[in-house]
Amino acid sequence: MAIVSATEMVNKALEGHYAIPAFNTNNLEWTKCILTAVEETKTPVMIQTSEGAAKYMGGYKLVVDMVNDLIDSMGITVPVALHLDHGTFEGAKKCIEVGYSSVMFDGSHFGIEENIEKSKEIIALAHSKGVSVECEVGGIGGVEDGVASAGELADPAECKLIADLGVDFLAAGIGNIHGKYPADWAGLNFDRLAEIKAAIGGKPMVLHGGSGIPFEQTKKAVGLGVSKININTELQLVFAAATRKYIEDGKDLEGKGYDPRKLLKPGSDAIIAKAKELCEAFEAAGKA
Ligand code: 13P
């Protein structure tokens, strides 16, 4: 099966009270590990790239071909959407053109008027090609922006304006943060999540910064309408830790331990294990 639009899988998750895991990929190994984990757990998945990661891998077209070829060669049977994460206006257009099945247009740094105008154009273009669209309101905090114990909170009225454009799923700040959560993080703001949900009606919502949020909180968020959870940092951390251990244990110096297929194996196994754990935690396992 080739890559599919994410609309149906995310809507089913909303109805079934679970969340689609949306894993960021960085390279061939990452993509294979994510596909292995979701196939073994029978989980519908969104594989996403930032614009930077796609550039690192060789471009959008290469990513489309890589994911489609792996689905074919690995015999993947679960639904897989290929999604652009935090796309610019130009990046989203390009991804729609070259075959991504889903795009995020992140206009949250524009004023709401400009965000609406640009979102509207991307939604029309994407839908004319059967591509699903995520838009963002209000920005998501990040520790790289400085010390941030509480993430940003989106304005429910602005969320309604973007939701009414016909977006398929909406990202909005509810205290979540990209990257590692600081020890004094205030947690997700469920009151704001409920207010946004009430304002946007039946639209599914996206939780960015999914790495490291305690599962009681992700579960509660899913109960309040979150149907897609983004994970990037958590897979990077387990990959780095397992690779560090391999090197620190001197394994690269034993026999042909320097062969990249051996060197990257512990990190790859760690990605698979963590991705499977998250598929179970978001209750998406078995839903494909
Ligand atoms: P984390 O890196 O915090 O998991 O966030 C991922 C994300 O939200 C990508 O948009």
Cα-Cα end-to-end distance for the chain: 13
> What's the CA gap between 107 and 89, in Å, rounded?
8
Q: Does 33 map to a domain?
A: yes
pLDDT tens figures, 188-198: 999 999 999 99
Q: Does 92 map to a domain?
A: yes
Q: How many domains does the chain have?
A: 1
Q: Which residues pair with 45 in a beta bridge?
A: 80
Q: Which domain holds residue 244?
A: 7-281
Q: Does 2 map to a domain?
A: no
> What's the CA gap between 92 and 10, in Å, rounded?
19
Is the C-beta atom of 118 inside 6 A of ligand 1?
A: no
pLDDT tens figures, 173-190: 999 999 999 998 999 999
- H or E, element range at 251: none
Mean pLDDT for the chain overall: 95
Identify the band that residue 139 occupies on the pLDDT scale cut at 50, 70 and 90: confident
> What's the CA gap between 195 and 212, in Å, rounded?
24
Q: Does 203 map to a domain?
A: yes
Identify the band that residue 151 occupies on the pLDDT scale cut at 50, 70 and 90: confident
List of residues 6+ apart from 264 with CB closer than 8 A: 29, 243
Q: Does 83 map to a domain?
A: yes
Q: Does 57 map to a domain?
A: yes
Task: Assign residue 260 the CATH number of its domain.
Answer: 3.20.20.70
pTM of the model: 0.96
pLDDT tens figures, 220-230: 999 999 999 99
What mean pLDDT comes out for the span 255-269?
Answer: 98
Ligand 1 binding pocket mutation candidate from 20, 24, 143, 145 (most atoms within 8 A of CB): 24
Q: Does 288 map to a domain?
A: no
Q: Does 196 map to a domain?
A: yes
- Residues that are catalytic: 85
pLDDT tens figures, 27-83: 999 999 999 999 999 999 999 999 999 999 999 999 999 999 999 999 999 999 999
pLDDT of 141 above 80: no
pLDDT of 264 above 80: yes
Ligand 1 midpoint to CA 81 (Å): 17
